[in-house]
Structure 1
Amino acid sequence: MGLKAILSKPFAAFAVYQINQWKNRAVEVQQDVMLALVKDASSTAFGKDHDFSSIKSYQDFKHHIPICDYEALRPYIERVVNGEEDVMWKGKPVYFAKTSGTTSGVKYIPITAESMPEHIKAARNALLTYIHETGKTDFIDGKMIFLQGSPVLTKKHGILIGRLSGIVAHLVPHYLQKNRLPSYETNCIEDWEEKVDAIVEETFHEDMRLISGIPPWVQMYFDRLSDKAGGKKIKEIFKNFSLFVYGGVNFEPYRNRMEDVIGRKVDSIETYPASEGFIAYQDSQTEKGLLLQVHAGMFYEFIPAEEYYNENPSRLSLGEVELNVNYALILNTNAGLWGYSIGDTVKFVSKSPYRILVTGRIKHYISAFGEHVIGEEVECSLMEAALDEGLEIVEFTVAPQVTPAVGELPYHEWFIEFAKPPKDLAGFSKKVDQVMQKKNIYYFDLIKGNILQPLIIRSLRGGSFQSYMKKEGKLGGQNKVPRLSNDRNIADELTTYIL
């Protein structure tokens, strides 16, 4: 055992001690965070416009700060982008995380000197809580990799601009730098396929022990490693690979196929990082859910998902949430985001401590007929049926078909890329549909009322989703295929890939 691995155990114990100081008094901590944020931003343009000096309670907070999306905040953000100080937060941001939104075009999410350390601390604590719980430290003595975007940054008015993962690449702690791959030069390759091939060459003979990234792109890396090794399993290529860290999408639909290419089960840690803040991470290998970061410069609010589009939806603080209810997540942060709807939905699976599951996206749903099907329901239905059939899912998405052939009822159309297509696709479709009816009562009623016919699955050729994402200019990095769409934009593109 190396020195870093030896030292990691007392370091992990101290980190967990610190975490325990706030996680068991989360509601009180959140109240303190709210008041501190308001006080620190009271002299900013946004603070003056919204009379922060008069906010003394959460009721005041809700009265003065509206719920908004990026478009509503854009006038303030553009002032910051143009170099103005003290607009949304004191001073100027250190970075802008550049993201591509579907409705707002390019978005610039501010990251400040106060918020950036919280990103790093949460990522570090995800590993330290794992070490403390399991006692496993071997991964520290080997090589680690995070499949991420380019670290190349630009600068405007003194503010560095880049993808979040590229920004974070510059802030990896010094004690991990020698363990980290790929090289800076390889990380800078823009073409994703070329980059993955370069990473394969660079890591093939290394002692890789921790691998991190968004599951579908890690799967692509593993597939190319296996091809280079003549079909060998990853466990034969990286004999000491023991920990997979992931975020961005639910791992479960990918788990069977990934464990097959690895050749065995490995421990995993789920994280919930976003450009707006590192919101939660898996702090236990035995307890369900991700520990909400209530002491990280973010004040959270929650809107019941079913009320989100109401004129005056309920707006709740942490102490008011209930278990197993889908909420739209609202952020107020020490990066200067206020009443900001991040677009994700979450539900609480524990309140002691507060742990969440990410259940989908507010805009990624199907309700063409009033069914309001969400991501969690389609993922769980597909996983349950696939597990029963022993099928491996590469990728999938779902959309409504509202204009079927003459004489047919409308239906939900599922586009699935299987590792190996089922022998009885119609039978598998029926099984998925039956689970969906149990998951969503509105969907059940529509089927039984002959408003919808049972769902139809289209089996796609191998590599279909990678080809589609490449065509869209979204191959690799932090890009994800939407699980659900309420329109046919993605579905119509994928029809050309049907087997």
Structure 2
Amino acid sequence: MAIVGSIIKSLIDLRDSIVPEPEAQKSQEEVLKKLLKKAKDTEFGKHYDFEGILAADDVQKAFAEKLPYFDYNKLHKEWWYRLHEGEENITWPGRPPYFALSSGTTGKSSKRIPVTDEMVEAIRKAGIKQVSALSNFDLPPDFFEKEIMMLGSSTDLQKEGDHKEGEISGISASNIPFWFRGYYKPGEEIAKIEEWDDRVQRIAENAKNWDIGAISGIPSWSELMIKKIIEYHNVDNIHEIWPNLQVYASGGVAFEPYEKSFNALLDHPLTVIDTYLASEGFLALQERPDTTSMKLILDNGVYFEFVPFKPEYINQDGSIVEDAPVVPLSDVKEEEDYVLLISTVSGAWRYLIGDTIKFTNVERKEIRITGRTKFFLNVVGSQLSVNKMNDAVKELEEKFDIKIPEFTLAAVRIDGEFHHHWYLGTEASTSEEELANALDESLKAANKNYGVARSKALKGVKVTKVSPDLFPEWSAVNKKKGGQVKMEKVMDEEKFAKWEAFVKEHS
């Protein structure tokens, strides 16, 4: 019997029964007040009169009325740039010890997002919540004795003056508590390797030395790692190397598009647990097995607001218009898409993180990530969001019994008329014409705006099949491999032309 595992599982169960569930609205009000009090004497806090907001009868309403919306470019241009010039007390007291580098999915160069000591602590607390939530899943005691493969970016952070820089997964992993290091793989030495291919090669070489019970990471890169291990050891599936692998903690993007190709690498299905760790903070986690939704973490240094995701509120670049209405947590509705805004202990204020979400359970405050504001394809009124695209691709997989782990598309002009051109990452023998027709019909059935557009200005759908391997190679050329890098699902015409040239060169 796994005695140690049983003890750990019992302690988790006990903690879960002792720690009370915070009241959502009250927790968020307290978080906002703490943020305002902490930052009231910063340059930002004085400029926007945090003292006055705190004195208001309705602090949340006063906050929403006083502060404009910010995305990274606006906040950096007006405030954060001063941190890089050596100033302090700008949007948060002092100076941040870390900056998270994030090119996201659409940026031309890396963003440098402040990560304070308070944020590092908040991420640590969220990690403990995630471990505690495992008590709700039907996992045997010996699972809690197994090792965890955390596949993120390099933990060899770059020293820049008085701070260090790296991706958020690398920053988080470099701050792993001492008591967890015995469970953490690939370990400090391998985790510090900068080049993705070299790091994964070392993981493959050492894989048989570890007893992995769980993997965490972005699906596309986790899948590539598993494929490398299978190839290196010449086996049929990853369970021949890690027979006790039971859990996959997905993060960053929806897992569903990768599910079929991911499961093909396994001997038996894993328990999949979704998490929402962004460069700006650890925002939500799946806490129960009978859903694929994640619960917002409402008492941990992040204040949430929600803008209805409608075309009239979204600018061409994915930002939101100044007069877009905001919905507080108390008034959100189920199954409606919202643009997520956060204010955090790292000094982000009413910050457009770039993701769209929907509440699947308002009472439990559970959400799903539905897409990116910049991936909203609304040329000629088609109003396609990423979740609609994902659903349509999943239907293709089921209809033709094929795997399509990656895709990208753009609205392009052919002979002066608009078409949607999809590139599907698949090895399937199904013809491109069949895929295009099925994709078109699926989207018409699921989205009335798309149907209207197809009857008017959107003249057709084109599909090109390519190897799924081209997508990570594109990321490698344009950003880098691994870590938090995600493939852009929607491109503008200029970017799409570069993508097509890349495909032609590498096919």
Q: Distance in 2 between matches of 1:491 and 1:377?
A: 24
For residues 263-318 of structure 1, give each alpha carbon's deviation from its aligned partner in whole angstroms, at most 9, with x where no partner exists.
22111111000121100011111034100011011111111111244441101211
Q: State the AA in 2 paired with 1:11.
A: L
Q: By how many angstroms is 1:94 displaced? A: 2.9
Structure 1 position 346 matched with structure 2 position 357:
yes
| Alignment match of 1:467 (pick from 473, 488, 501) | 473
Is 1:295 the counterpart of 2:299? The answer is: yes
TM-score (norm 1): 0.93
Instruction: Give the Cα–Cα distance (whole angstroms) in 1 for the partners of residues 460 and 184 of structure 2.
Output: 49
SS of the aligned residue for 2:159 comes to strand
SS in 2 for 1:353: coil
CA distance in 2, matches of 1:496, 1:149: 25
Q: How does 1:101-116 map to 2 (within 5 A)?
A: 102-103=106-107, 105-116=109-120
Q: Structure 2 CA distance, aligned partners of 1:14 and 1:264?
A: 30
Secondary structure of the residue that 1:410 maps to in structure 2?
strand
Which amino acid is the alignment partner of residue 75 of structure 2?
A: L
Is 1:70 aligned with 2:81? no
8 A contact 1:16–1:132 mirrored in 2 = no
Greater mean deviation of Cα atoms: 101-110 or 249-258:
101-110
1:320 paired residue among 331, 334, 359: 331
Q: Give runs of aligned pairs for residues 170-189 of structure 1, distance below 5 A.
A: 170-189=174-193
- In 2, the alpha carbon distance for the partners of 1:219 and 1:353 equals 31
The equivalences for 1:448-463 within 5 A come to: 448-449=455-456, 451-463=457-469
2:317 alignment partner in structure 1: none
What SS does structure 1 have at the residue aligned with 2:46? Answer: helix
Distance in 2, matches of 1:322 and 1:229, equals 50
TM-superposed CA distance for 1:417, in Å, is 1.3
How far apart, in 2, do the equivalents of 1:110 and 1:439 lie?
A: 40
Q: Secondary structure at the match of 1:261?
A: coil
Q: Which position in structure 1 is the counterpart of 2:87? A: 84
- The within-5 A match list for 1:49-448 is 49-55=47-53, 56=56, 57-74=59-76, 75-100=78-103, 102-103=106-107, 105-306=109-310, 307-308=313-314, 309-401=320-412, 403-405=413-415, 409-418=417-426, 420-448=427-455
Using the TM superposition, give the Cα deviation of residue 231 of structure 1 relative to its aligned residue in structure 2, in angstroms. 4.0
Residues 347-383 of structure 1: CA distance to partner in whole angstroms, max 9, x if unpaired? 1111111011001111112112122211101001110
Which residue in 2 is equivalent to 1:16? 16
- For 1:489, the equivalent position in structure 2 comes to 495
CA contact 2:98–2:164 (8 Å) conserved in 1: yes
Q: 1:356 to 1:491 in 2, by over 3 A?
A: farther
- The aligned amino acid for 1:183 is G
Shift of 1:488: 4.4
Greater alpha carbon shift after TM alignment, 347-356 vs 84-93: 84-93
Q: Is the contact made by 1:468 and 1:494 (CA closer than 8 Å) also made in structure 2?
A: no
Residue deviations 1:181-229, cap 9 Å, x none?
A: 2132222222211221111101134222211111111111111122123
Shift of 1:448: 2.4
CA distance in structure 2 between the partners assigned to 1:175 and 1:151 by the alignment: 18
Secondary structure at the residue paired with 1:21? coil
Question: Are 2:336 and 2:358, in contact at CA under 8 Å, matched by a contact in 1?
Answer: yes
Equivalent residue number for residue 40 of structure 2: 42
- Residue pair 1:153, 1:167 contacting (<8 A) in 2 also: yes
Matched AA of 2:367: I
Structure 2 contact 67–350 (Cα < 8 Å) conserved: yes
Q: Secondary structure of the residue that 1:392 maps to in structure 2? A: coil
Secondary structure of 1:272 counterpart = strand
Q: CA deviation at 1:135?
A: 4.4
Contact 1:41 1:90 survives alignment (8 Å):
yes
Shift of 1:462: 5.0
Using the TM superposition, name which of 228-237 and 210-219 deviates more: 228-237
So what's the TM-score if we normalise by structure 2?
A: 0.92
2:25: which partner in 1?
Answer: 27
Shift of 1:394: 3.0
Change (3 A) 1:182 1:89: same
CA distance in 2, matches of 1:103, 1:212: 25
For residues 104 and 38 of structure 1, the distance between their equivalents in structure 2, rounded to whole angstroms, comes to 32
Return 301-310 or 337-346, whichever deviates more: 301-310
Of residues 280-289 and 306-315 in structure 1, the stretch that sits farther from structure 2 once superposed is: 306-315
* Identical counterparts, % of pairs: 27
Q: Which amino acid in 1 is paired with 2:435?
A: F
* Greater alpha carbon shift after TM alignment, 294-303 vs 198-207: 198-207
Counterpart residue type for residue 452 of structure 1: L
* Closer/same/farther in 2, CA of residues 79 and 410 from structure 1, 3 Å limit: closer
1:227 partner SS: helix
Displacement of 1:4 in angstroms is 4.3
Distance 1:130 1:161 in 2: 31
Partners in 1 of 2:308 and 2:323 — Cα distance? Answer: 11
- 2:213 partner SS: strand
Task: Give, in angstroms, the shift of residue 414 of structure 1.
Answer: 0.9
Mean CA deviation greater in 9-18 or 64-73: 9-18
**Residue 147 of structure 1: how far off its partner (Å):** 1.2
Question: CA separation of 1:167/1:67 partners in 2, compared to 1, >3 Å: closer, same or farther?
Answer: same
User: Which residue in the other structure is 1:477 paired with?
Assistant: 483
State the Cα deviation string for residues 5-38 of structure 1 (Å, max 9, x = none). Answer: 223223322443466421xx20121112112211
Q: Is the 8 A contact 1:328 1:345 kept in 2?
A: yes
RMSD value, Cα: 2.1
